[in-house]
Amino acid sequence: MVWVDREYRDQLRDDWRYTRLFRLEEHLREARMPPCTNAGCNGGQITMRDADGNTTTVTCDVCGGSGIVAVPVDNEDDGRAGGR
């Protein structure tokens, strides 16, 4: 995994050794991910209104707040965030 500060991206883009990495990044950005299948989900959030007119926004359980189903959510409950 590679992380590059935005300050250095243009310099690395001009370096031929990083061409494949930047092409892969562009390909992944352009890939279409399927949206969340939950009918009430709007960008990973579900807004509910009770009988009194109060609104409550919660995170969607289907997509985990990402808005797309294909991306697994990394959090402390599933063990990946802690490196386990």
The larger pLDDT score, comparing residue 71 to residue 3, is at: 3
Please name every residue paired with 45 in a beta bridge, in sequence order, or none if there are none: 42, 59
Please name every residue paired with 48 in a beta bridge, in sequence order, or none if there are none: 56
User: What is the distance between the terminal CA atoms of the chain, rounded to a whole angstrom?
Assistant: 17
Q: pLDDT category, 1, cuts 50, 70, 90?
A: low
pTM: 0.43
Q: What is the pLDDT of residues 19-74, one digit of tens each?
A: 888 888 888 777 777 788 888 888 889 888 888 889 999 998 888 888 877 655 55
Q: What residue spans define the domains of the chain?
A: 1-31, 34-74
The confidence score (pLDDT) of residue 66 equals: 80
Least confident piece of the model among 1-5, 6-10, 14-18: 1-5
